[in-house]
Amino acid sequence: MLFSSVPFLFYFLPAVMIVYFAVPDKFKNAVLLVFSLVFYAWGEPKYVFLMLFSIVSGYIFGLLIEKYRGKQASGIFLVISVIISLGVLCYFKYADFFISNINRVTFISIPLLRITLPIGISFYTFQIISYNIDVYRKCVPACKNIVNFGAYVALFPQLIAGPIVRFKDINIDLVSRKHKLDMAAVGIARFCTGLGKKVLIANSFGQLCEIFKVSGEKSVLFYWIYAVSFTLQIYYDFSGYSDMAIGLGSIFGFHFPENFNYPYISKNITEFWRRWHISLSSWFRDYVYIPLGGNRVSRKRWILNVCVVWMLTGFWHGVGWQFIMWGALYAVLLIIEKMFAGKFFARIPSFVSHVYVMFFVIIGFVLFNSDGIGGAFYDITAMFGARGLPVITAETVYYLKSFFVMFIIGIIGSTPLIKYISDRLRNGRMRKAYALLYPLILCLIVVLVTAYLVDGSFNPFLYFRF
């Protein structure tokens, strides 16, 4: 079930809220757990049992790790819990990838399993792993209440595509959160904003990407238009979903971590990854990079650590060599910045460094969205005129004109400008007018989104596949 769907907006969410706020506080987590399982089972009925297995497994191992803390058994239980979690993830997400590559190398024909990928498995698996590691590290106590733990893992606002919420982030909220009207109001506003970003902006750029794919009159400029379109689509798609998740969490009394901080204004790749998918970047930093030694090792070992982390980051995003290469691209860029170019980027004009960042981000997303390594090579070389395509065609001009206003909206909206203006209006002399207009703008967004959805328009969600 998508957040940006009529069943969720007008049936599921109202039902959750009515029941949730009607029951006593001691039953609220149980209500969230039940509705979260229903939410998941809506599109993945059989895989709800896999989620239940993951919840029970993570819960039991958390108790065992804490019970034997300080003893060798605690470490053994941690290793077993991580192996089980990663084993489940690898089986359902990567089995066919490994089989197909073994077949290609050995020239044998092991049948593919053709397993459907359980939605959100990458996200809730990482949450369970981080919980068990944090229990082992004494960062959090083991959760004694399986309903609370189940609610943490299955919580529907962040279940499908994050942000990756750690147990220590919401441990207190799970036990004793407060429900405030102002917090709920902020959550509703955040949800509506994310909904508009997803449906009205991301879907528009998604339509242009689909038009490009079926076009029979591609040109060099059309390839660049497609590349920029996808770069904007994935930002509004994923950051919009994160906004909706954080907003829903706020409505129910939770404080979810931020996941995006205007990444397209970054002046180097290091900064970009501090601003893009923050919860994933920090997860790999704390549970992979630092345990490997981080940067407190020899230079060769540090380079290896960076390569391992970013190739895993790429592989986490999808099944295919293009995702591994996407991660490797960022590994190379980050190593170059750290070893050679850091001081250079600090001295050059911000505009130049910004162009550098966006160039590689756009190229990276073309690789990310390609049909394998061969498809990526074709698309990227076509962007630079190496495929004998015309520089521009009549069709390219038509779609550039048709989507010109949307590009302006998309580019401006990816910067802090709108937030800056909004803050000035809210806190300035026009704050009374702003207080009246802001709710009306949010209502208009909901009306437009509803019309869009009822019309049955294009409404994919990119991060479902992760």
Q: Which residues are catalytic?
A: 317
Question: 456: phi > 0 → left, psi -120 to 50 → alpha, else beta; which?
Answer: left
| Angle value at C-alpha 164, between 301 and 46, nearest 5 degrees | 115
Q: Tell me the C-alpha to C-alpha distance, in Å, between residue 444 and each of 247, 396, 432, 440.
A: 18, 32, 19, 6
Peptide bond into 163 cis (omega under 30): yes
- Pinpoint the alpha helices (H) of 201-349: 203-214, 220-251, 269-275, 278-284, 299-317, 321-336, 342-347
| Angle value at C-alpha 421, between 419 and 425, nearest 5 degrees | 115
CB 331 within 8 A of CB 269: no
Max distance between CA atoms of the chain, in angstroms, equals 73
> How many other CB atoms are there within 10 angstroms of residue 135's CB atom?
27
Distance CA 70, CA 76 (A): 11
Report which DSSP code applies to 23. S
Copy the structure tokens of residue 43: 């599109």
